[in-house]
Structure 1
């Protein structure tokens, strides 16, 4: 790869439409990438499961496959010799402006994981970002320190050292890949906020990995979800930012958060129609 930051796209072979849409988007925005064949948890034999999963641990097959897919990606990333890599799942759509970051690279990173997009929660509760700790990626994107590792491995950058350490503790599998509180070592997290570095396409609601699916027409305000203003408006109407700020202040007073300008992460990470098929994208992607 000629890019300073290599891109790895995780996709299951049986999710043909998702793979096609994801590769089309990456080619359309001019991002070089390597396709990683995802591990299909439902296809793992009992012998394989016994070999990779810790005794007494019960996890959905899809989550095991997801875990192994990301571990496989780290192995490929380390072969490049590059200091940073971008991992994207096939429902993620990086912002076209982020390609400049991929081409130029990043210097003096003070994080192990940097999320282009993520959930606002984790297994311990709400995740906050410190608005007073911007890491300037370029003229468009800023990454902020997080209070913990969030759910969601849709699109994130990882450092070479973080990937190496993760591989050292990869097996046996004892928890999902994004339950960082169970990691046997400290991890530094940042996330890109306002604007995000990527969005999730509505294909996120039909998961081939976990088997979870929700018809899009059943989601409230489906048409409005095509606008980024919907995200900000819904959070404002729910007083999400104010409530998050108050909760963070309480956690600081209790000593559960270090001092900082803690803010709530946006709740929405799916944008309908983002990275959708188009004649121009099809032409750029080729067959």
Structure 2
């Protein structure tokens, strides 16, 4: 199989999960390139204060997860590569992924806008954007969730690092990034990466600390405050672009397919 620039985020102590992903990648003739996951519970209080400004939004496990993805973004920027494929260690690739991967890689390398391409169909308004072959395509999306398999280019990685240093909210806040004109969201119209449900249930994040039972209004209040602060720090031109993007989203929701249900 063709090799490609990628990282698999994995905690070294999660032996079973690591062995499973090694076995899975080897089935496709690939040696996984691991990024050692940052463990939030191993960070000191001083480190947490320096690295985060989440106002209690995230658990230590979620903090470690986000910092790990940000660490991969830095690896991309340190390299000469134009984009990087990122997987979590409960992700699994299928035959169609490898069939379409060269075309996806080419698309992301040629993409002039900061962009993330999620390797499955998201639950959001979408519209066909770029054909990959006669039956499969890349979709433009208004939102997206999860981060177990995606591709990100250099400019998008740089933009996210800028707003997430220190860390403010979960790493897969794709809609927030797009709302702030930091990137475009793309996805595939078919599932190329899926979760190993058995391994997903053994989430290291949840083992470190259970996910907080927070009301939607509490979460929204904190996120809105962060977004407002980021927005206020933009130049006048950047603010105008953000407002334009908000108008565009309303138009997109009228004309894009609705996959949210």
Q: What corresponds to 1:135 in structure 2?
A: 130
- 2:209 pairs with 1:210: no
1:125-274 equivalence runs, <5 A: 127-130=124-127, 133-138=128-133, 141-148=136-143, 150-183=144-177, 184-194=180-190, 196-202=191-197, 203-211=199-207, 255=250, 257-264=252-259
- Alpha-carbon RMSD: 2.8
- Write 1 or 2 for the structure with the bigger share of helix: 2
The correspondence for 1:117, drawn from 117, 120, 127, is 120
Kept in 1: contact 2:94–2:193 (CA 8 A): yes
- Cα distance in 2 for residues equivalent to 1:255 and 1:144: 17
- CA distance in 2 between partners of 1:171 and 1:205 (Å): 30
Give TM-score, length-normalised by structure 1: 0.66
For 1:106, the equivalent position in structure 2 comes to: 106
Cα distance change on mapping 1:74 and 1:138 into 2, 3 Å: farther
* Greater alpha carbon shift after TM alignment, 157-166 vs 62-71: 157-166
* Partner SS state of residue 209, structure 1: helix
Distance in structure 2 (CA, Å) of the matches to 1:174 and 1:106: 32
In the aligned structure 1, how far is the partner of 2:251 from the partner of 2:206?
33
**CA shift in 2, pair 1:166/1:116, >3 Å:** same
The 3-state SS of whatever aligns with 2:50 is: helix
In 1, the alpha carbon distance for the partners of 2:72 and 2:63 equals 14
Does the aligned pair in 1 maintain the 2:114–2:182 contact within 8 Å? no
Aligned length: 215
1:63 maps to which residue?
Answer: 62
Q: How far apart are the structure 2 equivalents of 1:32 and 1:159?
A: 22
The C-alpha deviation readout for 1:15-41, integer Å capped at 9, x for no partner, is: 111111112111211335410000111
Q: Unmatched 5+ residue regions in structure 1?
A: 121-126, 214-251, 268-287
Quote the Cα distance in structure 2 between the aligned partners of 1:75 and 1:210: 25
Give 3-state SS (helix, strand or coil) of 1:135's partner. strand
CA distance in 1, matches of 2:114, 2:31: 23
CA contact (8 A) 1:118 1:152 kept: no
Offset at 1:198?
1.1
SS in 1 for 2:206: coil
How far apart are 1:161 and its partner, in Å?
A: 1.4
Deviation at 1:169, TM superposition (A): 2.5
Change (3 A) 1:80 1:31: farther
Contact 1:119 1:152 (8 Å CA) reproduced: no
Residue 47 of structure 1, CA deviation: 1.1
